[in-house]
Amino acid sequence: MGVAVLVVASITAGLSIYARKTPLVETTKFWGPETITALQLGERIQLFPRGGDDFPRVELTTTPGLGHLRRALLDERNFDWDSVESESVASLWTADQNASDDAEAKEVPSSVQLRLTDPTAHRFDTVEIDIDLAGGWVGPSDGSQRVRINDYVQPKLRNYFKTVVNFKQRRYDDRD
């Protein structure tokens, strides 16, 4: 009886690991192995404004939700692979992209760049990823290609970046 329980537990554990594994076949073709390594293991991640956006650089390395961001950019199910184009994400940005009078629209950045580095282990060179949050496009900053993020993930990315860009650090004694 004990052996049967051990066998069933081993099979169940193996199936669980297999089912939770992030599919990377298409994303590896698109990003390349160095960017995949950077997204998985990047020690330092920073967010910079691009296009018409203007906000201070944000250090994402220790922010809550960073694991979700990494997975959103790694999981091949989060992209519309029929939309791959050999144009840059930056070509979508215009100077008046954030020139809206709507206060809420100004809180959400429309174009950002992620910079991933590994200053301690040096497992990869600096990787930069451009993201157009207004249209849902993402691609390497070298301008070689872009792909559209699917409709399920787009609002989640917009919400994440809105949160981290507008976060105000408060001291303990300044809280309400």
Alpha-helix residue ranges (DSSP H) falling in the chain? 2-20, 25-31, 33-41, 66-74, 103-107, 154-165
Res. 16 pLDDT band, cuts 50 70 90? confident
pTM of structure? 0.83
- The Cα–Cα gap between 107 and 6 comes to 53
Q: What percentage of the chain exceeds 70 in pLDDT?
A: 88
Q: What percentage of the chain exceeds 90 in pLDDT?
A: 68
Q: Where are the domains of the chain?
A: 23-168
- The Cα–Cα gap between 36 and 71 comes to 11
- What CA–CA distances, in Å, run from 63 to 45, 47, 75, 78, 140? 10, 11, 20, 22, 22
Average of per-residue pLDDT values in the chain: 89
pLDDT in tens, 26-70: 999 999 999 999 999 999 999 999 988 889 999 999 999 999 999
Res. 164 pLDDT band, cuts 50 70 90? very high
User: Does the structure show a pLDDT above 80 at 100?
Assistant: no
* pLDDT at residue 172, as a whole number: 52
Spatial contact of 97 and 110, defined as CB atoms under 8 Å apart = yes
User: Does the structure show a pLDDT above 90 at 111?
Assistant: yes
User: Does the structure show a pLDDT above 60 at 130?
Assistant: yes
Q: Is the dihedral of CA 23, 27, 28, 31 positive or negative?
A: negative
Closest CA to 50 of 96, 99, 93, 106: 93
* pLDDT at residue 103, as a whole number: 56
